[in-house]
Chains A and B, each alone.
Chain A
Amino acid sequence: MSLLSLRDLSVTRGGRKTLDHATLDIAPGEFVGLIGPNGAGKSTLLRAALGLIEAEGESNLAKLTPAARAKAAAWLPQAREIAWPIPVADLVALAQDGDTEAPQVKAALKRMDMAGFATRPATSLSGGEQARVLIARALAQDTPLLMADEPVAGLDPAHQIGSMQTFAELAAEGHGVIASLHDLGLAARHCTRLIVISHGRIVADGTPREVLTEELLAEVFAIRCHLTETADGVIVQPLEQIR
């Protein structure tokens, strides 16, 4: 059974193909890191998969009604928008129709280390704390699939690692997770699978070990990296830009 199934998904914006025939499947238990340079089409792929933007080709989620889709997949957009100073617990409970006592809400707050902030107005928190509250909201939706656009950008190192571990735990519990990421080190360390996207096309798809090679990093990201095999997996350290 696949949680996300895309077949030849393409998006054209202003005469340019920003996503070009993307085909992929995500199964339960996978934590997929979507990596690629700025403008490669990571957000476009995720939003087209959800049916939030017009696309050609097939996506199992885009076919669903909004209500059915909300039960199949949770979505954490890149823009961290909190319009009103509503309390943190109420914000997270939006994923459970406002029920602040729902076990999913309490568990999500605890997982993101935000239980102590439950009554604080969300807008009074720092940017990183707001990001964690928004991740908690997506977790509280308790869906088979979690899709997140740059979920760990702007978090401190401890909470970046903590969030990545949470996603990995979710995958281990049988959920599927796909997150776009810029930190190659975190991606290599925590994801079970990496998908590399460049100029709208998927150029590599496999385990971090298979995907992260010096040649691919040079070609796609134009950077020179130091790669080390360790007991903890591949360690990636970008060294310099290739001009």
Chain B
Amino acid sequence: MTYKLLLSLLGLTVVALFTASLLIGVADQPVGASLSALFGGGEGPLPMVMREIRLPRAILGIMVGVSLGLSGAAMQGFLRNPLAEPGVIGISASAALGAVLALQTGFATTFALALPLSALIGAGGCVALILLLAGRGGGTLTLILAGIAVSALASALTALVLNLSPNPFAANEIIFWMMGSLADRSFTHVWTALPVMAMGWVLLSLTGRGLDRLTLGEEAAASMGTDVKRLRLMLVIGVSAAVGAATAVVGAVGFVGLVVPHLLRPLVGARPARLLFASALGGAALVLAADIAVRLVLPGRDLKLGVLMALIGAPVFFHLIWRMRGRT
């Protein structure tokens, strides 16, 4: 399959799933009425449902999927490890910590954007700490170790907040938030996340050539004209912006960044640069599909997106490990 054909197929899948996401929901309405309400507007509850509930939900699905898929492909390319994912450098855990603190202290209720902004501050703190720990060099090992350390600290602090939480309702809210969901999101979330995510997308899409060269190792990449230190900086900031913003608006959604690049790698001739764009589209398709599934599988029970994703992701992970075991 050629690269262009693959991208076209993935693009069409995303469009189809986006449309399906708009048409499937609690309020079961005919397709024609839904679409005319979406584009034509008018009075009554249906245009409101389409424009204020389903449209932002579907758009966020694409944005989050692109962020996670792109970040996963970039992390795997940079670390040259198919088991890497955006969570490796602790961004999701740190963003979650920021959000959890906001929920626990009640700051989250002070204004609409308080929760996502707190999560973004958490992600920003993570970047600063990682760059401080990992030093000025372009090495991958220090980056992984710094990420593990930051991730462990953020998770421990999140657990501490839950542990000491005097308010069972707040604890409950925190647990549900951490499962990750696209339900009940509005355009406020879209406009909050979009500028930060877009910055991340631009930075990550510029890493392609460097990631391709890194296939031959850091020294070979440097000798072919890649500034590896700069590449690492772009990667860390790009992943943090994209994944930090995604976690800020939908909570923690794992496995997309791990599974999507893994599935698409054989279809792009294993080229890291090509995998970036394919994974961005693939991530969008997977998140949209999973978000449709949570509405269809257990309608009315509010099955969380993060839970379903982990249920899909873990078996793929098993498969990955099984295959690696067979090879060595």
Which A residues form the contact surface with B (CB < 8 A)?
A: 47, 50, 52, 65-67, 69-71, 73-77, 79, 81-87, 90-91, 94-95, 97-98, 121, 134, 137, 141
Contacts of A74 in B (CB 8 A): 223
CA gap between A66 and B70 in the complex, in Å: 26
Given A66-B226, A83-B80, A86-B270, A91 and B216 contact (CB-CB distance below 8 Å): yes
Query: Do B217 and A79 touch across chains, with their CB atoms under 8 A apart?
Result: yes
CA gap between A85 and B270 in the complex, in Å: 6
Whether a CB of chain A sits under 8 angstroms from the CB of B173 is no
CA gap between A193 and B213 in the complex, in Å: 32
Task: List which B188-238 residues lie within 8 A (CB) of chain A.
Answer: 209, 212-217, 219-220, 222-227
CA gap between A232 and B112 in the complex, in Å: 83
Contacts of B225 in A (CB 8 A): 66-67, 69-71
CA gap between A77 and B223 in the complex, in Å: 9
CA gap between A77 and B218 in the complex, in Å: 10
Query: Do A81 and B217 touch across chains, with their CB atoms under 8 A apart?
Result: yes
CA gap between A121 and B271 in the complex, in Å: 11
Which B residues form the contact surface with A (CB < 8 A)?
A: 80, 209, 212-217, 219-220, 222-227, 265, 269-273
Q: Which 9 A-B pairs have the closest CB atoms?
A: A70-B225, A75-B223, A81-B217, A83-B80, A84-B270, A67-B225, A77-B219, A86-B270, A66-B227
CB of A61, distance to nearest CB on chain B (Å): 10
Given A69-B225, A141-B224, A52 and B219 contact (CB-CB distance below 8 Å): yes
Contacts of B265 in A (CB 8 A): 84
CB-contact partner of B209 in A77, A95, A97, under 8 A: A97
Query: Do B269 and A86 touch across chains, with their CB atoms under 8 A apart?
Result: yes
CB of A189, distance to nearest CB on chain B (Å): 28
Query: Do A94 and B216 touch across chains, with their CB atoms under 8 A apart?
Result: yes
Query: Do A94 and B215 touch across chains, with their CB atoms under 8 A apart?
Result: yes
Contacts of A71 in B (CB 8 A): 225
- Chain A residue at minimum C-beta to C-beta distance from B225: A70
* Most central of B214, B217, B226, B272 by chain A CB within 10 Å: B217
Contacts of B209 in A (CB 8 A): 97-98
Query: Do B223 and A98 touch across chains, with their CB atoms under 8 A apart?
Result: no
- Chain A residue at minimum C-beta to C-beta distance from B275: A84
CB-contact partner of A87 in B217, B223, B269, under 8 A: B269
CB-contact partner of A137 in B216, B222, B272, under 8 A: B216
CA gap between A76 and B221 in the complex, in Å: 10
Contacts of A77 in B (CB 8 A): 217, 219-220, 223
Contacts of B216 in A (CB 8 A): 81-83, 91, 94, 134, 137
Contacts of B215 in A (CB 8 A): 81-84, 86, 91, 94
Query: Do B271 and A90 touch across chains, with their CB atoms under 8 A apart?
Result: yes
Contacts of B219 in A (CB 8 A): 47, 52, 75, 77, 79
Contacts of B222 in A (CB 8 A): 52, 66
CA gap between A121 and B270 in the complex, in Å: 9
Query: Do B212 and A94 touch across chains, with their CB atoms under 8 A apart?
Result: yes
CA gap between A132 and B75 in the complex, in Å: 29
Contacts of B270 in A (CB 8 A): 84-86, 121
* Most central of A81, A91, A137 by chain B CB within 10 Å: A81
Contacts of A75 in B (CB 8 A): 219-220, 223
